[in-house]
Homo-oligomer: A and B are copies of this chain.
Amino acid sequence: MISDKMKALVEQSSVIRAMFEEGKNMAKLYGAENVFDFSLGNPSVNPPAQIKEAINYVVNEEDENLVHGYMNNSGYEDVRKAVAASLNSKFGTNFSYENILMTVGAAGGLNVIFKTLLNPGDEVVAFAPFFGEYRNYVSNFDGKLVVVAPDTKTFMPDMEGLREAITKKTKIVLINTPNNPTGVIYGDATLKELAKVLDEKSKEIGEPIYLIADEPYRELAYDGVEVPYVTKYYANTIVGYSYSKSLSLPGERIGYLVIPSEITGSKEIISAAGVANRILGFVNAPSLIQRVVGRCLDVQVDVDIYNRNRELLYNSLTEYGYECVKPQGAFYLFVKSFDMDDKEFVAMAKKKNILVVPGSSFGCPGYVRIAYCVDYDMIKRSLKGFEELARECNK
Interface residues, chain A, CB within 8 Å of chain B? 1-7, 9-10, 13-14, 40, 42-44, 46-47, 51-52, 55-56, 59-60, 64-65, 67-71, 104-105, 107-112, 115-119, 122, 133, 136-137, 140-141, 208, 248-253, 264-265, 268-269, 271-272, 275-276, 278-290
Contact = CB atoms under 8 A, between A and B. Distances in A.
A137 B279 contact: yes
B65 A3 contact: no
24 contacts: A1-B265, A3-B115, A3-B116, A3-B117, A3-B118, A6-B115, A42-B69, A56-B59, A64-B248, A69-B248, A70-B250, A104-B253, A109-B281, A110-B281, A133-B278, A133-B279, A140-B281, A251-B287, A252-B288, A253-B287, A280-B280, A280-B281, A281-B282, A286-B286
- A-B pairs with lowest CB-CB distance, top 3: A251-B287, A1-B265, A111-B281
Contact of A70 (B42, B71, B280): B42
A287 B249 CA distance: 9
A22 to B, nearest CB: 15
Given A42-B70, A56-B59, A109-B281, 13 more contacts: A1-B264, A3-B116, A4-B119, A6-B275, A42-B69, A46-B64, A51-B68, A64-B248, A70-B251, A107-B281, A107-B283, A280-B281, A286-B289
A159 to B, nearest CB: 25
A71 B44 CA distance: 13
Contact of A281 (B60, B108, B117): B108
B275 A13 contact: yes
B248 A68 contact: yes
A44 to B, nearest CB: 7
A252 B279 CA distance: 16
A63 B276 CA distance: 35
Contacts of A68: 47, 51, 248-252
Contacts of A1: 117, 208, 264-265, 268-269
Nearest to A292: B288
A79 to B, nearest CB: 12
Contacts of A109: 281
A7 B111 CA distance: 17
Contacts of A268: 1-2, 10
A248 B290 CA distance: 17
